[in-house]
Amino acid sequence: VTGSSTGFGREMVENVLRNGEIAVATLRKPSVLDDLAAKYPRTQLLVLPLDVTNETQVKSVFEQAKDTFGHIDVVYNNAGQALIQELEGTLMDRARALIDINFWGAVTVSLEAVRFFREENPESAGGMLVQISSYLSLKGSPLLGFYSSSKAALDSFTEVLAQEVLPNWNIRVCNW
């Protein structure tokens, strides 16, 4: 689960753990999940630092998950940020940083997930990539223009990725 510090990411980690399943929770500041790390054994919860814009860290997280649990069944690609500001008033560095996280970060995780499911998981085990987007990708909203744009780009990427994975890889890609 990327972006597991708050919101959907945190809730997903908690639901997985409550159901007795294994979770790998990734976030920029792992100490945010100290309460969960104290409550669940390392055999059930692995908390790792991750900046989704750092390709080396993304690959490392997948390897650490494999080293700890042997395989990955589902990647819940949730990391993202919102930016509430008029388009004209947004500094380009801030807009680019948002696109780097919400689009390029999600792309980096997605491509590594597909590679991992195909090459690292047991043969034909595959996996599922769940891409967390937003209804704002369908209809932009004032003050959320760059956020909406980043999610629209991610939706398009995810649609194409789902069409490009071969059926015999047993990889499911869904946009939520």
Distance of alpha carbon 57 from alpha carbon 111, whole angstroms: 14
| Domain residue ranges in the chain | 7-175
Query: What is the predicted pLDDT for the residue at 124?
Result: 81
Closest CA to 61 of 39, 80, 76: 76
User: Under CATH, which architecture does the 7-175 domain have?
Assistant: 3-Layer(aba) Sandwich (3.40)
**Within 13 Å of residue 35, how many CA atoms lie on the same side as its CB?**
7
Is there a catalytic annotation at residue 76? no
Q: What is the mean pLDDT of each run of 10 residues along the chain (176 residues)?
A: 97 98 98 97 98 98 97 97 96 98 98 96 91 91 96 98 94 94
Is there a catalytic annotation at residue 60? no
**Which of 133, 134, 148, 150 is the catalytic position?**
133
Query: What is the predicted pLDDT for the residue at 4?
Result: 98
**Which of 4, 40, 110, 147 is the catalytic position?**
147
Query: What is the predicted pLDDT for the residue at 58?
Result: 99
Coil, strand or helix: which one is 77? strand
Query: What is the predicted pLDDT for the residue at 122?
Result: 85
Is there a catalytic annotation at residue 151? yes
The answer to whether the beta carbons of residues 26 and 4 sit under 8 Å apart is yes
